[in-house]
């Protein structure tokens, strides 16, 4: 195990309990969304100085955010009122909201963005027996260009684009399914080109590389699947089972593919032990957990859950955010 040192941190300075819900890893430094309805951006070398940008969002209750263009600090947020806002964090606060995308008032639970495909996608809560996937072309009107109503039968909890093809979209739902859709297809009967069934409510799912995906359930089950020809359709290529048993943790925050293609990182926490560690998922003949070389955040966010983490490999820094209202910066001792 390799422990990191907490070198900096910032706590949302309000009396009521505030969760930092997610981190968006902009090239310029981390941005966060929090339960006090704020979108904030930080100087990565001076978290304690507070947000350099601190914007109030207007979604009723903010639920999710994604980077649209990480290099140019363009971020999308969404929430319970069914709206999506695009923010250019290079602008001053009154001009930062550069677009507002709307359809109906169904709460949005998930987002995906593709700057190369000029696309923003939102997944909704199940309402009136319908859960939707809405796709906007940001170059056109604020109304969606596509509206899929039958891809999932329950809340759409996760959306992610393919790493190299902006037409291919992954969606996950509390119906237990991870679907791969070709968004060039408008016919709902044809749009799903592959389905993986974890048989448990999907918390997170994404591409690990051009053909392989992971699915993580709300009860911490983790399985990997392969879209490639020759793989058994729909069956897991690796099923790790309940990660609480496998890793001795209490929850999995998320799984992130490494940008260089060298596997992925699993963020695992145990709040009663004030512990959080990042375990490398390595790809060789198969996928394996490298538990011996895990990276540990000692003390983590005390007894509170770590909601999000991200890593800046070149800067050798990790950022974490939690239900204690903190964003923290970590780095190796040497």
Domain with 169, as residue range(s), is 12-243
The count of structural domains within the chain is: 1
Q: Is residue 115 part of a domain?
A: yes
Q: Is residue 319 part of a domain?
A: no
pLDDT digits (tens, 9 = 90+) for 32-72: 999 999 999 999 999 999 999 999 999 999 999 999 999 99
Q: Is residue 239 part of a domain?
A: yes
Label residue 333 by pLDDT band (50, 70, 90).
Answer: confident
The residue written with tokens 């001795």 in the block is: 248
Q: Is residue 190 part of a domain?
A: yes
Q: Is residue 260 part of a domain?
A: no
pLDDT digits (tens, 9 = 90+) for 202-259: 999 999 999 999 999 999 999 999 998 777 778 899 999 999 999 999 999 999 999 8
How many helices (H) and strands (E) the chain has is answered by 1, 29
Backbone angle region of 132, left / alpha / beta, with phi > 0 → left and psi within -120 to 50 → alpha: beta
Q: Is residue 83 part of a domain?
A: yes
For residues 55-90, one letter each, b for 16 or more C-beta atoms within 10 angstroms of the residue's C-beta and e for the rest, the string is bebebeebbbbbbbbbeebbbbbbbbebbbbbbbbe
- DSSP state at residue 246: H
Cα–Cα distance, 264 to 257 (Å, whole number):
4
Percent of the chain with pLDDT over 90: 90
| pTM for the full predicted model | 0.96
Cα–Cα distance, 136 to 103 (Å, whole number):
10
Range from 202-216, 260-274, 291-305 carrying the lowest mean pLDDT: 260-274
Q: Is residue 21 part of a domain?
A: yes
pLDDT digits (tens, 9 = 90+) for 90-139: 999 999 999 999 987 899 999 999 999 999 999 999 999 999 999 999 99
Cα–Cα distance, 248 to 251 (Å, whole number):
9
CB–CB of 44/329 below 8 Å?
yes
pLDDT score recorded for residue 217: 98
pLDDT at residue 27 above 70?
A: yes
Q: Is residue 304 part of a domain?
A: no
- CATH number of the CATH domain containing 69: 2.130.10.10
pLDDT at residue 81 above 80?
A: yes
Label residue 142 by pLDDT band (50, 70, 90).
Answer: confident
pLDDT score recorded for residue 104: 78
pLDDT at residue 334 above 70?
A: no
pLDDT score recorded for residue 230: 73
As a whole number, the mean pLDDT across the chain is 95
């Amino acid at each position: 195990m390799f422990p990191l040192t907490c070198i900096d941190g910032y706590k949302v300075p309000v009396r009521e309990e505030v969760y930092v819900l997610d981190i968006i890893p902009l090239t310029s430094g981390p941005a966060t969304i929090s339960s006090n309805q704020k979108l904030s951006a930080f100087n990565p070398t001076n978290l304690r100085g507070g947000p350099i940008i601190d914007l109030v969002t207007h979604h009723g209750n903010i639920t999710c955010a994604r980077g649209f263009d990480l290099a140019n600090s363009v971020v999308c947020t969404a929430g319970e009122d069914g709206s999506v806002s695009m923010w250019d964090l290079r602008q001053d606060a009154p001009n930062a909201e550069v677009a507002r995308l709307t359809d109906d008032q169904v709460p949005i639970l998930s987002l995906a963005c593709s700057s190369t495909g000029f696309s923003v996608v939102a997944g909704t809560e199940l309402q009136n027996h319908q859960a939707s996937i809405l796709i906007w072309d940001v170059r056109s009107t604020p109304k969606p260009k596509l509206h899929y109503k039958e891809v999932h039968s329950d809340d759409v909890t996760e959306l992610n684009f393919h790493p190299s093809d902006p037409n291919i979209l992954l969606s996950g739902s509390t119906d237990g399914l991870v679907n791969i859709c070709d968004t060039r297809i408008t016919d709902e009967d044809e749009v799903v080109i592959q389905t993986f069934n974890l048989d448990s409510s999907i918390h997170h799912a994404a591409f690990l590389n051009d053909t392989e995906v992971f699915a993580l359930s709300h009860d911490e089950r983790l399985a990997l699947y392969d879209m490639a020809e020759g793989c058994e359709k729909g069956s897991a290529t690796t099923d790790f089972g309940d990660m609480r048993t496998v890793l001795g943790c209490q929850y999995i925050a998320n799984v992130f593919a490494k940008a260089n293609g060298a596997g992925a990182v699993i963020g695992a926490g145990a709040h009663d032990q004030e512990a959080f560690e990042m375990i490398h998922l390595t790809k060789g003949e198969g996928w394996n957990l490298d538990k011996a070389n895990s990276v540990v955040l000692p003390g983590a966010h005390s007894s509170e859950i770590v909601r999000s983490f991200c890593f800046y490999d070149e800067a050798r820094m990790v950022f974490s955010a939690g239900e204690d209202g903190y964003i923290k910066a970590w780095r190796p001792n040497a």
